[in-house]
Chain A
Amino acid sequence: MTPTSSAPGDRAAVEAALAPAERAVRLLGGDLTERALRRHLEGLAGVDAVGLEQRAAGLATRSIKTTSKAWALDTIIRLIDLTTLEGADTPGKVRSLVAKALQPDPAAAATDASVPPRVAAVCVYGDMVPHAVEALGAAHGDPDDGLVSVAAVATAFPSGRASRRVKLADTQDAVAAGADEIDMVIDRGAFLAGDYGRVFEEIVAVKEACRRPDGSFASLKVILETGELTTYDNVKRASWLAILAGGDFIKTSTGKVSPAATLPVTLLMLEVVRDWYRLTGERVGVKPAGGIRQSKDAVRYLVTVAETAGEEWLQPHLFRFGASSLLNDVLLQRQKLATGRYSGPDYVTVD
């Protein structure tokens, strides 16, 4: 197995070269059978649940103050996928979400206070992608360049209960409409029934559906919905499965199931990503989503990322927060740091 180069500049080239399922072929050999996959996943070392939760609790006790806190708050904003995934979403709602993504704190912009950075992406349902793209205009692009990308949930989000044909069409539509990132859900029913091959094939097929006419791929985030996987061992297997099948990101949850993202689950997924990096030299992203509403919680995630995968993961193409109300809380904390007084919800925009 040859480690692939992973310097940020080479990223696009690596993505283009990496056809779906290639990772699995490299790791498990050319004869990619369901049996080989099962042997690999079930052969993974079990997770020490008590140790994992203790480690997460230990990381959550770090105290981040003053200038470190100011840095952390701005980093959190740069890593947010600002999300609206409601049945009641309208084009107007998406436009206001985009406005917030581009200028999170208009009050700071109007005064001489320091202006917060833009968020990484807006995350919407597939049919809202054209509205998001239109509203972003020239600001649409790679978050590493200070622009905002468009992420779309696809594959019959959030349940994933639809035929393969429908899921692929869902994905292709979103990519054709200009989505830069696709958040897919895995078939949890198949995974829990032990049908790993089916889940694997589906991720590979969706990755293929992310291919644009020019041969490049939309970034694929694979949602494991850890709240439905019940055990840490399952989360670990699903993480490996998603990475082997070509996922660019592994994401905890849809946000529609409770529990959504938790610190121990995210820590476990970061450990898998770190192990994958050590094995292949290739960096995979992690996105906790759902239930992260307070800056304090988000800072704990940053600490966990830095301590587990490494600080180089704290950039938009390797770590994201899927959140909606988190942004306002971060802005309130920023205002508190700037003015020395507690701020209130009247001083940030309504979502």
Chain B
Amino acid sequence: MGARLEIPKTYKLYVGGKFPRSESGRTYEVTTPKGGFLANAALASRKDARDAVVAARAAVSGWAGATAYNRGQVLYRVAELLEGRREQFVAEIRAAEGASEAKAAAQVDAAIDTWVWYAGWCDKFSQVVGAGNPVAGPYFNLSVPEPTGVVAAIAPQGVAGGSLLGLSRVVAPILVSGNTVVVVPDETRPLSAITLAEVLATSDVPGGVVNVLTGSPAELAPWLAGHADVNALDLTGAGDLEWVDLVIDGAETLKRVRDPEPGVPDLSLERITTVTETKTVWHTKSLI
């Protein structure tokens, strides 16, 4: 046998459960920290963002309508499949971040644990943040958290040890309550994000629940922030952008907004509840 032909991978977007190229046809070069060529990634346009929001909106009823137990199982399944492809993730993170094998492996482990941690919360968080409210009358008064709908998110950008972990820490809590998400991953190190999308596509997460737009947050964020059919804006990785303008745009269409945060976000229940709405119902006690 002679030398094999090299088969480089085409990194595309992940929208509505499919892997399209950008409608604009644009791509950009992804390099190692030292400037070596790694791959061409799709450079998403505002129209890709528009299509992603349409896909995310269509997926809300199915994902929010699934039982909490079922959502937990699906998110746990993501962790299982990540585990099965850990070698690939370690290799991609080493190439993209220039990290040592040990550090890359630690990041993948932490990402897997993130999905397990949030999977567990799916059928538990509403017990913690919901309430049976005391009222002065013959009624049950119950407050329960419900998903807000479509969330647009900017994953941490350029954080050391964060290309996969930062993305997982942003996306997983959004999914817990039944939201769908359009996420812009790390602009300069997007390869593990697309590989994560391949994991999601094969792990019972319905198409459209997670949509990954590789490209420039500076270009995409204003369109997502102003989009009237997006319910919440997670600006975790938008610290280097003109994010106050994004917050103002979000406010004009009554979005929930989460401000930027440096580094890799911690595991937190509060990330789940940021993108929920509290529904309070009164119910007569007449049958007691």
Which of chain B's residues have a CB closer than 8 A to the CB of A43? none
Question: In angstroms, how far is the closest chain A Cβ from the Cβ of B183?
Answer: 17
Segment from A85-93, A199-207, A337-345 that makes contact with B: A337-345
Tell me if A347 counts as interface (CB < 8 A to partner B): yes
**What size tier do the contact residues of chain B reach?**
10 to 19
Tell me if A214 counts as interface (CB < 8 A to partner B): no
Tell me if A346 counts as interface (CB < 8 A to partner B): yes
Minimal Cβ-Cβ distance residue in B for A342: B227
- Beta-carbon contact of A341 and B229 below 8 Å: no
User: How far is A108 from B230 in the complex, measured between Cα atoms in Å?
Assistant: 21
Question: In angstroms, how far is the closest chain B Cβ from the Cβ of A63?
Answer: 13
- Beta-carbon contact of B226 and A344 below 8 Å: no
Minimal Cβ-Cβ distance residue in A for B223: A342
- Beta-carbon contact of B226 and A346 below 8 Å: no
User: How far is A335 from B229 in the complex, measured between Cα atoms in Å?
Assistant: 13
Question: In angstroms, how far is the closest chain B Cβ from the Cβ of A107?
Answer: 11
Which of chain A's residues have a CB closer than 8 A to the CB of B228? 335, 341-344, 346-347
Tell me if B238 counts as interface (CB < 8 A to partner A): no
User: How far is A282 from B228 in the complex, measured between Cα atoms in Å?
Assistant: 47
Which of chain B's residues have a CB closer than 8 A to the CB of A346? 228-229
Question: In angstroms, how far is the closest chain A Cβ from the Cβ of B29?
Answer: 29
Which of chain A's residues have a CB closer than 8 A to the CB of B223? 341-342
Which of chain A's residues have a CB closer than 8 A to the CB of B50? 342
Minimal Cβ-Cβ distance residue in B for A345: B229
Question: In angstroms, how far is the closest chain A Cβ from the Cβ of B150?
Answer: 9
**Which residues, 318 to 351 on A, are CB-close (under 8 Å) to B?**
335, 340-347
Tell me if B108 counts as interface (CB < 8 A to partner A): no
User: How far is A340 from B50 in the complex, measured between Cα atoms in Å?
Assistant: 13
**Which residues, 248 to 277 on B, are CB-close (under 8 Å) to A?**
249, 253
User: How far is A340 from B249 in the complex, measured between Cα atoms in Å?
Assistant: 12
Minimal Cβ-Cβ distance residue in A for B252: A341
Minimal Cβ-Cβ distance residue in A for B230: A344
Question: In angstroms, how far is the closest chain B Cβ from the Cβ of A348?
Answer: 10
Which of chain B's residues have a CB closer than 8 A to the CB of A335? 228
Which of chain B's residues have a CB closer than 8 A to the CB of A340? 226
User: How far is A344 from B229 in the complex, measured between Cα atoms in Å?
Assistant: 4
Listed A/B pairs (27) with beta-carbon separation below 8 Å? A335-B228, A340-B226, A341-B223, A341-B226, A341-B227, A341-B228, A341-B249, A341-B253, A342-B50, A342-B53, A342-B223, A342-B226, A342-B227, A342-B228, A342-B229, A343-B228, A343-B229, A344-B57, A344-B227, A344-B228, A344-B229, A344-B230, A345-B57, A345-B229, A346-B228, A346-B229, A347-B228
Residues of A within 8 A of B (CB): 335, 340-347
Residues of B within 8 A of A (CB): 50, 53, 57, 223, 226-230, 249, 253
Ranked 4 nearest A-B pairs via Cβ: A344-B229, A341-B226, A344-B228, A342-B227
Give 18 A-B pairs besides A343-B229, A346-B228 with Cβ atoms closer than 8 angstroms: A335-B228, A340-B226, A341-B223, A341-B226, A341-B227, A341-B228, A341-B249, A341-B253, A342-B53, A342-B226, A342-B228, A342-B229, A344-B57, A344-B229, A344-B230, A345-B57, A346-B229, A347-B228
